[in-house]
Amino acid sequence: MATTPFEDQRPGTSGLRKRVRVFEQPNYVENFVQSIFDCLDGVDGQTLIVGGDGRYYNDVVVQKVIRMAAANGFGRVVCAKDGLMSTPGVSQAIREYSALGGIVLSASHNPGGPEGDFGIKYNIGNGGPAPERLTEAIFARSTAIDSYHTMASDDVDLSRPGDTEVGPMALSIVDPVAAYSALMEKLFDFDAITDLLAGGFLMRFDAMHAVTGPYGRHIFEKLLGAPAGTVINGQPKPDFGGEAPDPNPVHAKHLVDLAMSADSPDFLAASDGDGDRNMILGRGIIVAPSDSLAVLAANAHLAPGYAQGISGIARSMPTSAAADKVAQKLGVDLYEVPTGWKYFCNLLDAEKITICGEESAGTGSDHVREKDGLWAILMWLNILAARRKGVAEIMTDHWAKFGRNYYSRHDYEGVEAAGAAALMGSLRDRLSSLPGSVYGGQIIQSADDFAYVDPIDGSKAEKQGIRLIFADGARIILRLSGTGTVGATVRLYMDRYEPPEGDLGQDTQVALAGLKAIAEEVAGIRSHLGRDAPDVIT
Ligand code: G16
């Protein structure tokens, strides 16, 4: 069919994310999906996985993708029942069906509903997000495309698993929960977790009305025997119940309030829209994602799937250096990569690392090529079952052994793009003059715009965030988010190490107040962005 190109189909950190209204324009979805197919090396007879997080428009786009896959010559599409599959679930399915790749329909933790966001992302044959050279090629194609292939066929009933055909193509509708649960049972000690839960240990899992509800109910309440009601907000809804499915202290405030109350369960957790992010809390404590990565890496050997130890750890550059200390003690390599899960995938494929994670609430391992919220939650449960200690005690023990990285991210959301660009541009212009300068009594030792060369394929990523490193190792990082859909989002990250013999019990924001003042002075956040305070502090 004839079409005209759109100019705003540039994928960000994690695929193409826009308002639903943008995706609803005639031909918009088709242009992007055809651009993906046109950039793949031969789709004839190949298998494609399709699934999404169930947000508004998911049902429509799933059908479009199936029709287009059939018209483009794919041999088979494996589609999730009701079109609902988590992002790690799609990654798993790509690997298990030896598919050419998969299409994930999600805008992750962004709000849903007709006024919310939608997204399309392509994952390659190893199950991981498309590398930048492919996303760039797809974008270039989307600006020149003049036609797409589809079929005039009725919508397929996706409510019952089974095999059918769409034109010449085979279509398998699968229940992703069973396959995912089986993988988790291989990695974790389900008997030990069942014992823990049977002994009165209370947990709560908030699926935030998103894709992990059915997975959570099956795993926690059915397989592990937790009481009914352990999973809350477990029914996926197209608008996520009117909330952003973002497991952080703002959007999951009710969980934080519960954790801080006298009635707190022993363990609380949440996952996001598409099930790749996680939030971990215990009685009286929120575990920072960077700390969670460090704890999981330090204790992974307690889970059967990782009993032989881990080969290495990777974290994104803005993630705190807590995991570095663990890597040092374990005697394994630590890799620092740009923000974006795709940067972990070559390291995972080459078995250089087993565990990786990001400050943005993502942790995962070599079991798939995406971050995996339920995996992180089950790993925590396995550790809690093996160590028979509470979450707060595990954290206190960890800091006493490795020291503590006080760490926080301040987000300035939906700011004017020009102000954000001016802030970053002004810092970039001054980078070479900053080392040696003293701010707030601290000497800046180095200043750069993070650049990365992939150790496996030599591909380069530049301008990945401004990094100021101080003489004592403390870091201030500023970068622009690649996942927002309105204006620009500036992220300020602060990281300061306190050794085991130091003061480990400070309030995080108090411990970082000095760095915050320096960040303001060096970057002029207030003047560039016209904001007195961040919108979200994590
Ligand atoms: C995506 C990527 C992550 C990245 C995150 C934050 O997550 O998959 O690797 O850390 O975006 O990106 P930014 O700081 O650019 O907003 P998700 O869960 O949104 O797919």
Q: What is the pLDDT along the chain (538 residues), one digit of tens a residue?
A: 877 777 677 777 678 999 999 999 999 999 999 999 999 999 999 999 999 999 999 999 999 999 999 999 999 999 999 999 999 999 999 999 999 999 999 999 999 999 999 999 999 999 999 998 999 999 999 999 999 999 999 999 999 999 999 999 999 999 999 999 999 999 999 999 999 999 999 999 999 999 999 999 999 999 999 999 999 999 999 999 998 999 998 899 999 999 999 999 999 999 999 999 999 999 999 999 999 999 999 999 999 999 999 999 999 999 999 999 999 999 999 999 999 999 999 999 999 999 999 999 999 999 999 999 999 999 999 999 999 999 999 999 999 999 999 999 999 999 999 999 999 999 999 999 999 999 988 999 999 999 999 999 999 999 999 999 999 999 999 999 987 777 899 999 999 999 999 999 999 999 999 999 999 999 999 999 999 999 989 8
CA pair distance 358, 97, nearest whole angstrom: 28
Q: Whose CA is nearest to atom 7 of ligand 1?
A: 14
pTM for the model stands at 0.95
Q: Return the ligand 1 atom nearest residue 360 CA.
A: 10
* Burial profile 90-124: b = 16 or more Cβ within 10 angstroms, e = fewer: bbbbbbebebbbbbbbbbbbbbbbeebbbbbbbbb
* Cβ neighbour number for residue 246 with a 10 Å cutoff: 22
State whether residue 196 is helix, strand or coil.
helix
Compute the distance from residue 450 Cα to the ligand 1 centre, in Å. Answer: 17
CA pair distance 292, 224, nearest whole angstrom: 22
Q: Whose CA is nearest to atom 14 of ligand 1?
A: 481
CA pair distance 433, 192, nearest whole angstrom: 56
Compute the distance from residue 194 Cα to the ligand 1 centre, in Å. Answer: 33
Compute the distance from residue 201 Cα to the ligand 1 centre, in Å. Answer: 33
Compute the distance from residue 14 Cα to the ligand 1 centre, in Å. Answer: 6
Say if ligand 1 is within 6 A of residue 335 CB. no
Domain with CATH 3.30.310.50 in the chain: 404-537
Say if ligand 1 is within 6 A of residue 358 CB. yes
Domain with CATH 3.40.120.10 in the chain: 16-174, 179-402
Q: Which residues pair with residue 495 across a beta bridge? A: 407, 475
CA pair distance 499, 503, nearest whole angstrom: 8
Which active-site residues does the annotation give?
108
Considering the domain 404-537, what is its CATH architecture? 2-Layer Sandwich (3.30)
CA pair distance 50, 359, nearest whole angstrom: 28
Which of 358, 363, 372, 478 gets mutated to test ligand 1 (max ligand atoms within 8 A of its CB)? 358
State whether residue 87 is helix, strand or coil.
helix
Considering the domain 179-402, what is its CATH architecture? 3-Layer(aba) Sandwich (3.40)
Say if ligand 1 is within 6 A of residue 264 CB. no
What type of residue sits at position 1?
M
Superfamily classification of domain 16-174: Alpha-D-Glucose-1,6-Bisphosphate, subunit A, domain 3 (3.40.120.10)
